[in-house]
Structure 1
């Protein structure tokens, strides 16, 4: 019975750590963005420039520790490492949940979004299992006692994890769980269906009786139902508070608004273009790879000349910076503006390139994996 419980705990924890590490390694930039949120919350902005590197390290650490636990190698060190990590993350998710500082922990990336309380509950279960494994660490048997094979195993797992993380960082996630994935209709993802239930809120009033001095709180429904508002002796004190009681329908894309330098909304026009159009995404121009921008600009110039294909550049940089950047790089693309959050979700690259048609994402590329103009022409424009 004890052996079965130990094996179950070992397999469950090991597989979960590998799965969690792989999901985040599939999108290390996205995990890095989440770490930046935590750095801001804990007043450590100096760590933000290293967020992606830290993200890749944590992904590899999770995968390696999970694999070593399954192999049974170095059980004392591995269970101690797992215990230290899970205590840290349990504390982190509790702070997120209790103080509502980060709305999603990013434990499983964008593949399985968890609320802070769900994440905290998951970490509590893992904490119990890992404590059990740590107590019984000497009863965990390795699949082989050969030290050479053990070293080779850890080197192999570490190398594969590192290669995978660097590949997805360089050439975009292998699996895209974001709403801007290839094949997605952006107008459809932004639409709220007819009859969809909106969010439900309860509004609470603080009331004070002018004569008796009595104070009480009352919901907006009770306020109207009891008709207490007809009694002039009761007055509302302070601002009413609003609390979400039931989450309604939420569009997959709810925060995208594209405008020009004059704040004119171009979202509908750009997203519903019935023809092929190229979208260069460069959320921070000052950090963009300028050589890649020039390569994209060359593609745009040829595309508009030969097929009259429209190219736009989306950025969250200021209009002044964008205007200067456009002049310095002699951009063919029109420049429009959007918030950095949706732009970071469009393409995990700065800059990145999207090919769209009639609002549908046909394909997208990181700046390291740009196709040639001839490849685009042959595969898409001439079809």
Structure 2
């Protein structure tokens, strides 16, 4: 039985660490997912939407930290009970998503691995069985290090995880699992897979008042897209930096457009207010949120290939 407990301990710990890590490097993605869960069409808990980001951060850090704690054997009773509670929360969310067909992707593994709600639900059922075994035989879970070392590892891990969260929120995700990552070609991403499923890049249109300019822009060599998915939520402190880097790009022969899902009247006002040297195109808000975790942010394209992406705070580092 001891061997089984140790095996389950490693499986549970590794799974929680992996699941937490792929979300830790992109907490904004989890924020969007919880906003979807809290929306009127799903759980109808709109009052929680403004707190989606801190809720996501707490849950992500708890998830990966508990994975570390179960592996090193720090406070086993507290750790196993906490793992059970978190898994029960995930179990309810995935069951609700699957049974009512509300959220097609639960975001359990961020953008790294896509599972259907039912696949995730059954994964959580198996996980709960493993955790219950650990709970029953918790006396077999011993620290793998002596003295205060497990406590030190736990607190150092917590500090490291919080640093990563702060870094990616200030800049961009450390690892980008999405179809718009640097090095990805958008035309290739638009091709339908052989199984007929939805292509990774979809709903990508860059519309002016007359037509979709996406096919034209994806053939150009030097394109800069200034992405502001929602002007009302954009960081106004970023507009001066955006203005300067846009002017620099234009001088170097780039085709520069702003891209937003906001109303055209609001875009005109923002263009005049901040003296922005480019016109705006319209794109779906969800697509823009997927393209870059910044508002505003900048994406550089070369014949449809993503060459660079920067949050506004880092646009001076763009290689033009």
Scaled to the shorter chain, the TM-score interval is over 0.9
Rounded to whole Å, the distance in 1 between the matches of 2:168 and 2:212 is 33
Deviation at 1:268, TM superposition (A): 1.1
2:222–2:253 CA contact under 8 A, matched in 1 = no
Counting only pairs closer than 5 Å after superposition, residues 18-33 of structure 1 correspond to structure 2 as 18-33=17-32
Residues 153-199 of structure 1, C-alpha deviations (whole Å, 9 max, x = no match)? 22111111111122122221122111111111112211347xx56xx
Residues 296-328 of structure 1, C-alpha deviations (whole Å, 9 max, x = no match)? 2111112223x2322101001111111111111
Aligned residue in 2 for 1:178: 178
Aligned residue in 2 for 1:123: 124
SS in 2 for 1:376: coil
Aligned residue in 2 for 1:244: none
SS in 1 for 2:159: helix
Rounded to whole Å, the distance in 1 between the matches of 2:235 and 2:210 is 26
1:187–1:272 CA contact under 8 A, matched in 2 = no
Count residues with an aligned counterpart: 318
Structure 1 unmatched runs, 5+: 198-247, 378-383
The alignment status of 1:269 with 2:216, answered yes or no, reads: yes
Larger radius of gyration: 1
Give the one of 326, 335, 342 matched to 2:280: 335
Structure number with the bigger relative contact order (C-alpha 8 A, sep ≥ 6) is: 2
Structure 2 unmatched runs, 5+: none
The alignment status of 1:38 with 2:4, answered yes or no, reads: no
Give the one of 183, 192, 206 matched to 1:258: 206
Residues 128-154 of structure 1, C-alpha deviations (whole Å, 9 max, x = no match)? 0001111111221112452x3333222
Counting only pairs closer than 5 Å after superposition, residues 66-145 of structure 1 correspond to structure 2 as 66-145=67-146
Rounded to whole Å, the distance in 2 between the matches of 1:168 and 1:263 is 37
SS in 1 for 2:258: strand
Rounded to whole Å, the distance in 1 between the matches of 2:71 and 2:151 is 15
Instruction: Give the ranges of 4+ consecutive aligned residues of structure 1 lying more than 3 Å apart after TM superposition.
Output: none
Deviation at 1:368, TM superposition (A): 2.5
1:102–1:116 CA contact under 8 A, matched in 2 = yes
Counting only pairs closer than 5 Å after superposition, residues 363-378 of structure 1 correspond to structure 2 as 363-372=308-317, 376-377=319-320
SS in 2 for 1:312: strand
Rounded to whole Å, the distance in 2 between the matches of 1:332 and 1:104 is 38
Rounded to whole Å, the distance in 1 between the matches of 2:51 and 2:312 is 20
Give the one of 214, 220, 224 matched to 1:278: 224
Aligned residue in 1 for 2:299: 354
TM-score for the superposition, normalised by structure 2? 0.95
Aligned residue in 1 for 2:250: 304
Rounded to whole Å, the distance in 2 between the matches of 1:109 and 1:22 is 9
Residues 60-104 of structure 1, C-alpha deviations (whole Å, 9 max, x = no match)? 101111111111111111111111111111111111111101001
Rounded to whole Å, the distance in 2 between the matches of 1:12 and 1:330 is 55
Rounded to whole Å, the distance in 1 between the matches of 2:78 and 2:182 is 43
Deviation at 1:369, TM superposition (A): 2.1
2:183–2:307 CA contact under 8 A, matched in 1 = yes
Aligned residue in 1 for 2:266: 321
Residues 215-254 of structure 1, C-alpha deviations (whole Å, 9 max, x = no match)? xxxxxxxxxxxxxxxxxxxxxxxxxxxxxxxxx2432212
Rounded to whole Å, the distance in 1 between the matches of 2:135 and 2:191 is 50
